[in-house]
């Protein structure tokens, strides 16, 4: 009912636009002049009898409709020299342009024309785009540049822990981030238990993080969207680039399939810690494995002016093992086939077929046990997205259907093993969605971005589904046949953002959005673990729901050289999941009997000040926030802070281009310690000192503080090749940041209790050599 109402309202807005004066369309694709890569989010602005502006979409495409006349077109993109053209709009016009990177100009160019006030004008809030060029100079652990560690330096985004790629956005849990790589969901985005991410920066073109004001085309997770897009590949010439670092090496090859029509990109990364292990003379050390690798591959081909096809894939794997004892491997696979079709200059469509899976295997090997446990999450996804460019409206609408299959755990063993074989029932679900949204430049001062998403989830047979009493005993079990719908949930997710411009440099924005989530992770570890368990919404688990409102003030200074923003948000969370004390999460068919359901709230203030250009650039971010959960069965039913509740979070990033060849950069972070449960008393049972707890997460870990620095030396320019050295020091102050605290009997006086802190990383230097030819 209400869906129909909203839709008709939307169409009403839309048709008034159609009824207006006769208009012509300027459309085209904007690319990088050197590589032919499409540029995402480039600004196209026309001025003449009327003015209008737009951004290129995820495929570099744009369209603007305006009344007849002579116009000046300015196309700009940060880090590129802007192009100015004059056109006469008396028919529909195609304008495919290539921009030249200013980096090639051997000096830091600050062109006034590529200063746009996009952050001030757009109705979009809570969006952060990672500049892949600055990513190279931000210092990181062991010199492995990492998208996920860089976004942790932004306000509102909190690190999952020291050196960890896990992240929390505005009080959300780690599993509430939608992480997509070329539209495919990446379930586990970490390598080596979170110290590195699955995103090899060499193969990544664009990274956008939505902390709030999520556009309606995204759904399925509560807290954020991290939209990662791979490089398309150079369609002009063959290029190689790579790097040799302390723990990993990278190599990327790209080139045209057919010049200016199609290209490919293949990128490979592998760690080699285990090669050092292999060098050991000791047979049980040199038989151990500890590595991960990533392969990204992509190809695209422009069939004709109206159709372009993209095929991309990711394959990554971690292997850990001790000879004759233990082996654990895990990894993600994604594959995406996309077809861009331009129905008319104004109507752009993208059809995607997506496959992704995440799986892990654990083997225990010894003289009596030969044990193998494996688990799989697999999705097939079909998406159809449309984008319609009208005069003042950009309309997006589409549908999406995903089939999930979860194999929670399969245990197979040798005959004499002490563990019994077990196959836990698979779970099947279909998640489908339809959405429509409109970006509307209502007046010179007022911009709207509003839409609606209908999210449906169905839990399907075959399977046995149980209900439980509060003690976890089975009340009833229903057997559901193959292909039958067992449980359905429908959720309407309104999304609304508006910006009001006082002038070109000042605006306020506000947004509201609702998100729902039907795939949940159950974990009792802080950092992401390869053996995290995924569950679908069911008769017991209700879809998680988040409502977020946010408001912000946005200001640019000095011709856009400085950017300031302040945002406040409040978020209500429903149907949050925790588990009972003494829950047995491993290989438990009745795992849903171990769960607790509650609510949460999160609110905060984010301040961001950025200097975008010049020899010295960088940013300062500050977050003041609170994140709490409430479960009837925990903490006497009172709100308690989430573990990732950190009151203050400060990050400072500075990049200084000292000369053409030397770049220095540093990052500094400070954050309040995690909220943890400290004992309030102690007693003895079973001959051991045991701790008495009163309030959940009422204690604080010591604060975190770290300064990282790096220096990049660009090699002398050669015609054929280019190389650079990157030197870094992680934790320059060698501060012992807390990783965990244990309580022990005081070594000096066993009648006393001592808190023993473990720190992970001291000062860690790194060096990386990068090359391009």
Partner 1 sequence: MKRLTLYLILLVLSLSACKKIIDIDTKDAAPQIVIEGKITDSLIDQQIRISKTVGYSELGIYPKVSGATVTVSDNKGNNYVFKETSPGIYTNRMKGNPGTTYNLNITAEGAVYTASSTMPKKVLMDSIGVINNYFFGNERKTTAAYLADPKNEANQYRFYLYRNGIISKSIYVNNDRLTDGNNLRIQLFFFTDEERDEELNSGDQLLVEMECIDAPVFDYWFALSEQTGRGPNQGTTPANPPSNLSNGALGYFSANTYQKLSATVK
Sign of the alpha-carbon torsion through 389, 493, 160, 428: negative
Supply the minimum distance, in Å, between the C-beta of residue 685 and partner 1. 5
Supply the minimum distance, in Å, between the C-beta of residue 736 and partner 1. 6
764 binds partner 1 (CB under 8 A): yes
Among 325, 474, 481, 733, binds partner 1 (CB under 8 A): 325
For partner 1, which is the closer residue by CB, 146 or 232?
Answer: 146
Supply the minimum distance, in Å, between the C-beta of residue 279 and partner 1. 13
Helix/strand/coil (H/E/C) assignment for every residue in 184-213: EECCCCEEHHHCEECCCHHHEEEEEEECCC
279 binds partner 1 (CB under 8 A): no
Stretch that binds partner 1, among 60-68, 118-126, 365-373, 661-669 (CB under 8 A): 365-373
582 binds partner 1 (CB under 8 A): yes
Residues 141-200, interacting with partner 1 (CB under 8 A) = 161, 192-193, 195
Q: Distance between CA atoms of 305 and 242, rounded to whole angstroms? A: 33
Stretch that binds partner 1, among 98-106, 487-495, 651-659, 746-754 (CB under 8 A): 746-754
For partner 1, which is the closer residue by CB, 360 or 613?
Answer: 360
Helix/strand/coil (H/E/C) assignment for every residue in 291-307: EEEEEEEEEEEEEECCE
Supply the minimum distance, in Å, between the C-beta of residue 734 and partner 1. 9
694 binds partner 1 (CB under 8 A): yes
702 binds partner 1 (CB under 8 A): yes
Q: Which residues pair with 385 in a beta bridge?
A: 350, 398
Encoding tokens for residue 118?
């996009």
Among 2, 86, 304, 688, binds partner 1 (CB under 8 A): 688
Contact (Cβ atoms closer than 8 angstroms) between residue 350 and residue 338: yes
350 binds partner 1 (CB under 8 A): no
Shortest CA distance to 618 belongs to which of 650, 654, 669, 648? 654
Q: Which residues pair with 509 in a beta bridge?
A: 499, 552
R_g of the chain computed on alpha carbons: 27
**Start-to-end Cα distance in the chain:** 60
Distance of CA 342 to the CA centre of its chain: 28
For partner 1, which is the closer residue by CB, 483 or 687?
Answer: 687
Supply the minimum distance, in Å, between the C-beta of residue 161 and partner 1. 8
Shortest CA distance to 579 belongs to which of 524, 536, 537, 627? 524
268 binds partner 1 (CB under 8 A): no
Supply the minimum distance, in Å, between the C-beta of residue 761 and partner 1. 6
Encoding tokens for residue 531?
């053996």
Q: Distance between CA atoms of 463 and 423, rounded to whole angstroms? A: 12
Supply the minimum distance, in Å, between the C-beta of residue 158 and partner 1. 14
| CA dihedral of residues 576, 581, 584, 588 (deg, nearest 10) | -40
304 binds partner 1 (CB under 8 A): no
The site that binds partner 1 (CB under 8 A) totals a number of residues, namely: 99
For partner 1, which is the closer residue by CB, 19 or 685?
Answer: 685
Q: Distance between CA atoms of 159 and 147, rounded to whole angstroms? A: 12
Among 16, 366, 425, 473, binds partner 1 (CB under 8 A): 366
Distances in whole angstroms, Cα of residue 282 to Cα of each of 286, 287, 325, 709: 6, 9, 15, 37
90 binds partner 1 (CB under 8 A): no
Residues 721-740, interacting with partner 1 (CB under 8 A) = 736, 738-740
For partner 1, which is the closer residue by CB, 41 or 287?
Answer: 287
> 517-540 burial by CB neighbour count: b if 16+ within 10 A, else e?
bbbbbbbeebbbbbebbbbbbbeb
57 binds partner 1 (CB under 8 A): no
Encoding tokens for residue 414?
């040798």
278 binds partner 1 (CB under 8 A): no
Contact (Cβ atoms closer than 8 angstroms) between residue 596 and residue 580: yes
Distance of CA 55 to the CA centre of its chain: 21
Contact (Cβ atoms closer than 8 angstroms) between residue 145 and residue 138: yes
Stretch that binds partner 1, among 124-132, 581-589, 595-603, 618-626 (CB under 8 A): 581-589
Shortest CA distance to 313 belongs to which of 349, 355, 251, 352? 355
Contact (Cβ atoms closer than 8 angstroms) between residue 349 and residue 387: yes
Supply the minimum distance, in Å, between the C-beta of residue 185 and partner 1. 24
Q: x/- string (CB under 8 A) for partner 1, residues 16-55?
A: ----------------------------------------
For partner 1, which is the closer residue by CB, 86 or 683?
Answer: 683
Helix/strand/coil (H/E/C) assignment for every residue in 11-41: HHHHHHHHHCCCCEEEEEEEEECCCCCECCC
For partner 1, which is the closer residue by CB, 324 or 559?
Answer: 324
Q: x/- string (CB under 8 A) for partner 1, residues 639-678?
A: ----x------------------------------x-xxx
Residues 503-532, interacting with partner 1 (CB under 8 A) = 524-526, 529-531
Residues 195-224, interacting with partner 1 (CB under 8 A) = 195
470 binds partner 1 (CB under 8 A): no
For partner 1, which is the closer residue by CB, 335 or 365?
Answer: 365
Q: Distance between CA atoms of 767 and 754, rounded to whole angstroms? A: 39
Residues 395-424, interacting with partner 1 (CB under 8 A) = 411, 417-420, 422
705 binds partner 1 (CB under 8 A): no
In what helix (H) or strand (E) does residue 206 lie, and over which residues does it extend? strand 204-210
680 binds partner 1 (CB under 8 A): yes
Q: x/- string (CB under 8 A) for partner 1, residues 584-603?
A: x-xxx---------------
Place of tokens 């306020």: 508
Q: Distance between CA atoms of 210 and 124, rounded to whole angstroms? A: 9
């Amino acid at each position: 009912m209400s869906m129909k109402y909203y839709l008709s309202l939307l169409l009403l807005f839309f048709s008034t636009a159609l009824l207006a004066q006769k208009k012509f369309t300027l459309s085209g694709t904007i690319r990088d002049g050197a590589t032919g890569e499409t540029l995402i989010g480039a600004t196209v602005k026309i001025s003449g009898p009327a003015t209008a502006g737009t951004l290129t979409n995820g495929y570099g495409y744009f369209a603007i409709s305006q009344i007849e006349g002579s116009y000046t077109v300015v196309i700009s993109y940060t880090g590129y020299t802007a192009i100015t053209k004059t056109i006469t709009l008396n028919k529909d016009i195609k304008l495919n342009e290539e921009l030249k990177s200013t980096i090639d100009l051997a000096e830091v160019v600050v062109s006034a024309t590529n200063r746009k006030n996009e952050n001030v004008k757009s109705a979009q809030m809570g969006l952060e785009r990672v500049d892949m060029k600055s990513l190279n100079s931000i210092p990181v652990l062991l010199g492995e540049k990492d998208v996920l560690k860089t976004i942790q330096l932004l306000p509102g985004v909190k690190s999952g822990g020291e050196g960890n790629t896990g992240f929390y956005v505005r009080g959300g849990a780690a599993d509430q981030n939608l992480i997509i790589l070329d539209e495919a969901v990446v379930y586990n985005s970490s390598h080596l238990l979170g110290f590195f991410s699955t995103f090899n920066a060499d193969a990544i073109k664009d990274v956008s993080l939505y902390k709030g004001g999520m556009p309606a085309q995204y759904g399925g997770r509560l807290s954020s969207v991290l939209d990662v897009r791979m490089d398309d590949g150079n369609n002009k010439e063959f290029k190689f680039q790579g790097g040799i670092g302390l723990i990993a090496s990278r190599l990327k090859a790209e080139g045209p399939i057919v010049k200016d029509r199609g290209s490919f990109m293949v990128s490979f990364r592998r760690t080699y810690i285990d090669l050092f292990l292999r060098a050991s003379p000791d047979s049980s050390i040199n038989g151990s494995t500890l590595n991960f690798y990533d392969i990204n591959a992509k190809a695209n081909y422009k069939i004709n002016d109206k159709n372009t096809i993209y095929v991309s894939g990711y394959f990554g794997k971690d292997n850990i093992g001790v000879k004759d004892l233990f082996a654990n491997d895990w990894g993600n696979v994604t594959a995406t086939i996309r077809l861009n079709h331009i129905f008319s200059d104004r109507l752009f469509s993208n059809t995607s077929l997506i496959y992704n899976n995440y799986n892990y295997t654990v083997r225990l090997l010894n003289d009596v046990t030969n044990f193998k446990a494996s688990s799989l999450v697999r999705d097939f996804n079909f998406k159809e997205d449309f984008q319609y460019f009208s005069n003042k409206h950009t309309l997006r609408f589409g549908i999406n259907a995903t089939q999930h299959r979860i194999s929670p755990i399969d245990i197979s063993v040798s005959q004499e093993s002490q563990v019994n074989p077990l196959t836990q029932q698979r779970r099947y679900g279909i998640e489908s969605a339809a959405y429509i949204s409109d970006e509307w430049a209502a007046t010179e001062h007022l911009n709207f971005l509003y839409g609606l998403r209908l999210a449906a989830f169905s839990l399907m047979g075959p399977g046995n589904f149980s209900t439980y009493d509060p003690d976890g005993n089975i009340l009833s079990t229903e057997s559901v046949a193959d292909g039958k719908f067992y449980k359905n949930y429908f959720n309407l997710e309104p999304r609304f953002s508006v910006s009001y411009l006082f002038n070109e440099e000042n605006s306020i924005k506000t947004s509201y959005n609702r998100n729902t989530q039907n795939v949940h992770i159950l974990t009792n570890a802080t950092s992401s673990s390869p053996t995290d368990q995924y569950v679908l919404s069911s008769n017991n688990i209700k879809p998680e729901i988040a409502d977020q409102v946010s408001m912000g003030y946005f200001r640019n200074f000095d011709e856009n050289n400085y950017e300031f923003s302040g945002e406040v948000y409040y978020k209500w969370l429903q149907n949050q999941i925790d588990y009972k004390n003494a829950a047995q999460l491993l290989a438990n068919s009745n795992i849903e009997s171990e769960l607790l359901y509650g609510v949460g709230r999160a609110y905060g203030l984010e301040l961001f000040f950025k200097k975008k250009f010049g020899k010295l650039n960088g940013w300062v971010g500050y977050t003041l926030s609170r994140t709490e959960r409430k479960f009837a069965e925990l903490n006497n039913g009172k709100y308690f802070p989430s573990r990732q509740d950190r009151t203050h979070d400060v990050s400072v990033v500075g990049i200084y281009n000292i000369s053409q060849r030397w770049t220095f950069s540093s990052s500094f972070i400070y954050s309040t310690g995690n909220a943890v449960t400290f004992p309030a008393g102690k007693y003895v049972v079973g001959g051991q000192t045991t701790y008495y707890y009163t309030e959940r997460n009422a204690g604080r870990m010591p604060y975190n503080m770290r300064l990282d620095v790096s220096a990049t030396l660009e090699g002398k320019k050669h015609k054929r090749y280019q190389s650079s050295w990157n030197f870094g020091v992680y934790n320059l102050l060698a501060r012992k940041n807390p990783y965990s605290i244990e309580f022990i009997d005081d070594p000096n006086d066993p009648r006393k209790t001592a808190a023993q802190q473990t720190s992970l990383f001291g000062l860690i230097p790194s060096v990386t050599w990068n090359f391009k030819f």
